[in-house]
Homo-oligomer: A and B are copies of this chain.
Amino acid sequence: MEALRCLPGVGPKSASRMAFHLVERDRVGAERLAHALLAAAEGVRHCRRCRNLSEAELCSVCADPARDASLLCVVETPADVLAIEQATGFRGQYFVLMGRLSPLDGIGPSELGLDRLEARLDEGQVRELILATNPTVEGEATAHYLAMLARERGIRSTRIAHGVPMGGELEYIDGGTLAHAFSGRREV
């Protein structure tokens, strides 16, 4: 039970429920989970090229020759890569910051591996840098900084669209998003 509490969202009650379930009813599942955890804890590292989580030295996206190296999408976390892979037909490559610029927390360009990103931009293959950081204050600041890096090298940078979410209703959207959606309207 004590060990299970390291899982996010698991308190004492859930931990004891999980522990009893595994011990009383699913010992095979418990063993499989143990092996998977060991393998992950030992084997998962960061892709040398994009900093995403990966078991090999190069992640599956970076290792895939069919992916378009001229499109580079910058995201904050590996979960964002997963979301984009599942939702869109994006066929380019990624760079995972593993965070966002946050000077107050001591997170600057070097903590985000931006030297590696700069080196990659300098290679000359990237033609479009897609800034897919979150539309939070820190995510926006990070996007601005990255856009500057791209501009210095004459590379085009684009920002994913912000506005009313699909299926949403104007009436219930927050004012900031509505103002953004309004000023960012596009020709039909």
Q: CB within 8 Å of B: which residues of A?
A: 75-77, 79-80, 82-84, 86-90, 130-132, 134-136, 143, 147, 150, 156-171, 173-188
Contact = CB atoms under 8 A, between A and B. Distances in A.
Identical subunits present = 2
A188 B134 contact: no
B159 A185 contact: yes
A185 B160 CA distance: 4
Given A161-B163, A188-B147, A178 B130 contact: no
Q: Which of A86, A150, A157, A162 has the most CB of B within 10 A?
A: A162
A99 to B, nearest CB: 13
B171 A80 contact: yes
A90 B169 CA distance: 18
A176 B166 contact: yes
A132 to B, nearest CB: 6
A24 B89 CA distance: 63
A79 B159 CA distance: 30
A184 B180 CA distance: 14
Nearest to A170: B80
Contact of A188 (B131, B164, B169, B175): B131
11 contacts: A79-B171, A83-B170, A136-B169, A157-B187, A158-B188, A159-B186, A160-B163, A164-B165, A165-B173, A167-B174, A167-B177
A7 to B, nearest CB: 18
A30 to B, nearest CB: 29
B164 A160 contact: yes
Given A161-B186, A184-B161, A188-B157, A169 B88 contact: no
Contacts of A173: 83, 165
B168 A180 contact: no
A154 B21 CA distance: 68
